[in-house]
């Protein structure tokens, strides 16, 4: 009977150990928040804003050209034949349509450029997260910034932000300035 109890105790400890190992550990981090803290992010934003500014100047130039031609047309239309008025109206409509198409194309190009600029940063961040997960023996990480989780038991999870910041050489002061709404990098 004593042997049976001993064997049963050992068996129960093995089952408890197996169940405990199956629960797994997880980490959590705000992926986009950390991305914005990376020094390379500020440079990517600067490049994007510069390109955006150049496009804005071209859009403004096109708008001024349209307005100039429209005013000129309005002043002259009473002195023009019907066929010339129709021709000029079509030209103005074409110019307006081209400006709208250009504006849409610019939006698409800026979004593509943003994705292209951020792709290597996201890859670097994912590599840092993978390294921390490997070092900590974590099974998965929840992105708290997207709000896609229902519940995090902070006693079971590990906030890996500090370790990722360390790998990416992000200073804690940068994190505080982001949380307070101040500029990310000075």
DSSP string covering 51-113, please? HHHHHHHHHHHHHHHHHHHHHHHHHHGGGS-HHHHHHHHHHHHHHHHHHHHHHHHHHHHHHHH
For residues 142 and 147, give the distance between their C-alpha atoms in angstroms, rounded to a whole number: 9
d(CA 47, CA 138): 36
- Identify which of 171, 15, 148, 124 has the alpha carbon closest to the alpha carbon of residue 140: 148
What distance in Å separates the CA atoms of residue 80 and residue 83, rounded to the nearest whole number?
8
The answer to whether residues 29 and 160 touch, using CB atoms and an 8 Å cutoff, is yes
Q: Which strand ranges, in their side-by-side order, compose the sheet holding 140-143?
A: 140-143, 26-29, 157-159
Q: How many CA atoms are closer than 13 Å to the CA of 85, on its beta-carbon side?
A: 9
Q: What is the pTM assigned to this prediction?
A: 0.64
Quote the pLDDT of residue 149: 58
Report the distance separating Cα 159 and Cα 26, nearest Å: 9
> What does the pLDDT read at residue 106?
95
At residue 124, the pLDDT reads 94
pLDDT at 10: 53
Distance, CA of 68 to CA of 60 (rounded, Å): 12
Instruction: Give the per-residue pLDDT at 94.
Output: 95
Reading the chain (186 residues) residue by residue, the pLDDT tens digits are 555 444 444 544 444 444 444 567 788 889 899 999 999 999 999 999 999 999 999 999 999 999 999 999 999 999 999 999 999 999 999 999 999 999 999 999 999 999 999 999 999 998 998 888 888 888 878 888 886 653 555 667 788 889 999 999 898 776 555 555 544 332
């Amino acid at each position: 009977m004593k042997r049976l109890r001993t064997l049963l105790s050992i068996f129960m400890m093995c089952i408890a150990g197996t169940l405990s190992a199956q629960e797994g550990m997880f980490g959590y981090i705000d992926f986009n928040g950390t991305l914005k803290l990376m020094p390379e992010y500020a440079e990517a934003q600067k490049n994007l804003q510069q390109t955006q500014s150049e496009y804005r100047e071209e859009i403004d130039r096109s708008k001024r050209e349209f307005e100039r031609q429209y005013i000129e047309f309005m002043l002259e239309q009473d002195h023009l034949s019907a066929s010339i008025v129709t021709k000029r109206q079509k030209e103005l409509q074409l110019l307006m349509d081209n400006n709208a198409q250009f504006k849409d194309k610019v939006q698409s190009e800026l979004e593509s450029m943003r994705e292209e600029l951020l792709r290597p940063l996201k890859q670097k961040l994912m590599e840092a997260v993978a390294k921390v997960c490997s070092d900590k023996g974590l099974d998965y990480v929840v992105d708290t910034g997207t709000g896609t989780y229902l519940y995090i038991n902070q006693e079971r999870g590990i906030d890996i932000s500090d370790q990722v910041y360390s790998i990416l050489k992000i200073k804690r002061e940068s994190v505080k300035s982001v949380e307070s709404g101040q500029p990310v990098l000075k």
